[in-house]
Amino acid sequence: MGRGYPLSVGNDRVLPAEYAGPAFVWDIDKTYLSTAFSSWRGLARVPVEFAVDKRAIPGMPEVLRGLRRGPGREIECRPLYFISASPPFLRGTIEGKMLLDGVEHDGITFKDWLRTLLELRPGRLFEQLGFKMAALLRGRLDRPRSREYLFGDDYERDAAAYSLYARWLHGELKIGELDETLASERVAADDRRHILAAAGRIPEARGRVGRIYIHLERNSRPQDFKKYGELLVAVRGAWQLSLALYQEGLVDLACVRAARDAVLSAPDHRFGDVRELGADALKRKLISREKWRRLGKL
C-alpha cells in the first residue's frame, strides 16, 4: 500500500477513545484566511508570506474563538482542528497568524508538497477532493466517536468532499460505491487505494457528521448546494455563519455579536449589509425568529 496519501499530520491533543462530543474541523484557505491558492501565481506567493501578511476573513476569528469556548458559562476548550492544502513548512506562519488572532487549535493537517513533487505528481497540488477525503479519514481515526462539524468554502470541492465523507461515515455507501464515486471525481487510482484503506480502518461504532458549513467565498447561490441535502448549510460570511451556529447551540450570543461587529468594521467586506444578511438568514431558516429576537437591536 506504500506510505499512504502524502499528508503531514499534526495532532497536539489526543482525545480519549470514547470521546463522543463535538469536534470542529476547518479548512484554512478561503474559510478562515483569504488565501490565493487556485493558480500557480497564487501558489508561488504562498511560501513568502509572513504571519502579518495573512488576512483573516472578517469575523471568522471571532467565530473560531466562540466555537472553542463553547456556548456555556465555563470555557470548554472544545476540540478544533484545521486542514490546509498549504505546504507543511508554513505551519509556523499559519500558527503565528492564529496567535495574532487569538485562535487556539489542537492540530493542523497539511498536504505534503515535497513528497508530491518528489513523486512527480505536481497536479496533485490542485487536486482537492482526494486530499480532503484522506485528511478527514485520518483525523477520524484519532477521534472515532466524535460528532464532527465541518467548515469549508465554495472555491474548491469542499461541499462534495465533506458530503462524500459524511455519506461514508453514516453508512450510506459501500466500499465499492465509494471507490466508484472517487473515480468519477478523477481521483487517481493509487490515491483511491490509500483513501479506501483509511476508510476501512474506521470502526463500525463511530460518530457522525453533525453539520457541514460552506462559506460562499465566491458569492455562489445557496440553492446550488441543495443537492447535498439538509446536512449542508451555505452561509455568506462570518455573520451568517455565527447565526447558524447559534441556532445549532454551538456558540453563544457574545460570539454572534462579536462576529457582527467585526463584519461591520471591515471596510472591504463584500457580502452586503448585516441587516440584509440577517433577513436572508431568517428567510433561509438559518436561524429561527425566536433566537433572532434574543440578539436584540442591531
The pLDDT of 64-69, averaged and rounded, is 98
Using CA atoms, how far apart are residues 5 and 116, in angstroms rounded to an integer?
9
Residue 1 in domain: no
The pLDDT of 99-108, averaged and rounded, is 96
Q: What percent of the chain has pLDDT over 90?
A: 73
Query: By the 8 A CB rule, do 239 and 260 touch?
Result: yes
**pLDDT for the residue numbered 296:** 80
> Is the pLDDT reported for residue 48 higher than 60?
no
Q: How many CB atoms lie within 10 A of CB 247?
A: 19
> Is the pLDDT reported for residue 4 higher than 90?
no
pLDDT band at 283 (very low <50, low <70, confident <90, very high): very high
The pLDDT of 24-29, averaged and rounded, is 95
Using CA atoms, how far apart are residues 234 and 153, in angstroms rounded to an integer?
9
For residue 161, what is its C-alpha cell?
468532499
Its domain, for residue 45, covers 7-294
DSSP 215: E
Using CA atoms, how far apart are residues 168 and 236, in angstroms rounded to an integer?
27
Q: What is the CATH number of the domain that holds 152?
A: 3.40.50.1000
Average pLDDT of the chain is 90
Q: What percent of the chain has pLDDT over 70?
A: 91
> Is the pLDDT reported for residue 100 higher than 50?
yes
SS3 for 275?
Answer: helix
**pLDDT for the residue numbered 114:** 87
Residue 217 in domain: yes
Count of positions (residues) in the chain: 298
Residue 2 in domain: no
**Phi, psi dihedrals of residue 137, rounded to the nearest 5°:** -65, -40
> Is the pLDDT reported for residue 202 higher than 50?
yes
The pLDDT of 106-120, averaged and rounded, is 90
Using CA atoms, how far apart are residues 160 and 228, in angstroms rounded to an integer?
8
**pLDDT for the residue numbered 105:** 96
pLDDT band at 47 (very low <50, low <70, confident <90, very high): low
Query: By the 8 A CB rule, do 53 and 63 touch?
Result: no
Helix axes 253-264 and 237-248, enclosed angle (nearest 10): 170
Residue 254 in domain: yes
Q: Tell which wins on pLDDT, 295 or 136.
A: 136
List 7's β-bridge partners, or say none. 111
Residue 51 in domain: yes
pLDDT band at 1 (very low <50, low <70, confident <90, very high): very low
pLDDT band at 289 (very low <50, low <70, confident <90, very high): very high
Query: By the 8 A CB rule, do 78 and 12 touch?
Result: no
Residue 58 in domain: yes
Q: CA torsion sign, 41 to 43 to 49 to 51?
A: positive
The pLDDT of 176-202, averaged and rounded, is 95
**pLDDT for the residue numbered 40:** 43
Helix (H) or strand (E) holding 151: strand 147-153
> Is the pLDDT reported for residue 106 higher than 80?
yes
The conformational region for residue 157 under phi > 0 = left, psi -120 to 50 = alpha, else beta, is alpha
Residue 144 in domain: yes
Q: How many domains does the chain have?
A: 1
Rg from Cα positions in the chain = 19
